[in-house]
């Protein structure tokens, strides 16, 4: 049995390594991950696996994946809204495309918090990714203060609506709901809480891009995802995968998250 959702969306389990693992460690990790999943007879066609290493690791990961024909996708942790120019320290989506990056994370809560990224900038980054054929993984989410002040879904929906300003139906995008109050806390949202927000996000996609585009768009949950709780999230109708942080650096734990079906006996 495949792991596709009722709507036919192939689940995506994505590991955001953040500021961890150098290029040699990245090579070792990706090799071991591929071997671990193959040994477990993981169906790579049923559940897509992607990793997001630091920029300095990308060439090494690309070389490994292409030379060994490993069925693992990879992407950048951020990109610039600019294609080139006098922007010291920025990474162009064109550079990511040249390295065969399938994805790029845009608007992670840490970028919003530590770098003051605005919704307007993020709309520009999404446009830049699309210009170069890279699929943006847009992160939206609320802090504990946002949740208390505005209630569930209000802030993530507003962030999504602003980021979609230049997106048209037919341009692929992945949306990742990450409740900031849950990230790294060990206290994930409940599956019902996550579903409530993801349903609101999908309704926004319908409103902005239309029914067909919304039905094709994958929405991930991110925030203290573990092997012990991933199956509950994946059982929800509007959750199509997970954006995994700390647990993606633990080989066996991440591999177990990828094989979430075994936790509910559907493999």
Active site members: 108, 178
Element housing 159 (H / E): helix 154-163
| Spatial separation of the C-alpha atoms in residues 151 and 147, rounded to whole Å | 5
| Spatial separation of the C-alpha atoms in residues 49 and 169, rounded to whole Å | 25
List the one residue out of 266, 189, 241 whose CA is nearest residue 10: 241
Burial of 151 (0-12, 13-18, 19+ CB in 10 A): exposed
Q: Provide CB contacts within 8 A for 94, sequence distance 6+.
A: 83, 84, 132
Burial of 186 (0-12, 13-18, 19+ CB in 10 A): exposed
How would you classify the pairing of strands 219-221 and 135-140? unpaired
List the one residue out of 67, 68, 89 whose CA is nearest residue 79: 89
CA dihedral 141, 145, 150, 155 (to 10 degrees): -20
- Quickly tell me which residue has 């579903």 as its tokens: 195
- φ, ψ of residue 33 to 5 degrees: the values are -65, -45
């Amino acid at each position: 049995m495949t792991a596709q959702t009722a709507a036919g969306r192939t689940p995506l389990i994505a590991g955001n390594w953040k500021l961890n693992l150098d290029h040699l460690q990245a090579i070792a990790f990706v090799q071991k991950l591929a071997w671990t999943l193959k040994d477990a007879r993981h169906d790579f066609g049923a559940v897509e696996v992607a990793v997001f290493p630091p920029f300095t690791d990308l060439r090494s990961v690309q070389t490994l994946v292409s030379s060994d024909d490993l069925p693992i996708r990879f992407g950048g942790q951020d990109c610039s809204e600019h294609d080139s120019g006098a922007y010291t320290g920025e990474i162009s989506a064109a550079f990511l495309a040249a390295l065969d990056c399938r994805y790029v994370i845009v608007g992670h809560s840490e970028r919003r918090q530590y770098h003051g990224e605005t919704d307007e900038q993020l709309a520009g980054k999404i446009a830049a990714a699309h210009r170069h054929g890279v699929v943006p993984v847009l992160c939206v989410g609320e802090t504990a203060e946002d949740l208390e002040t505005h209630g569930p879904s209000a802030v993530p929906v507003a962030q999504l609506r602003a980021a979609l300003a230049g997106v048209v139906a037919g341009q692929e995008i992945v949306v990742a709901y990450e409740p900031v109050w849950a990230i790294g806390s060990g206290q994930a949202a409940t599956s019902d809480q996550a579903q409530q927000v993801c349903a609101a996000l999908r309704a926004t996609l319908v409103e902005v891009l239309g029914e067909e585009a919304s039905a094709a768009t994958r929405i991930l949950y991110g925030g203290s995802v573990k092997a012990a709780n991933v199956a509950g999230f994946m059982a929800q109708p509007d959750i199509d995968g997970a954006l995994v942080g700390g647990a993606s650096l633990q080989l066996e734990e991440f591999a177990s998250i990828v094989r979430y079906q075994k936790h509910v006996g559907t493999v």
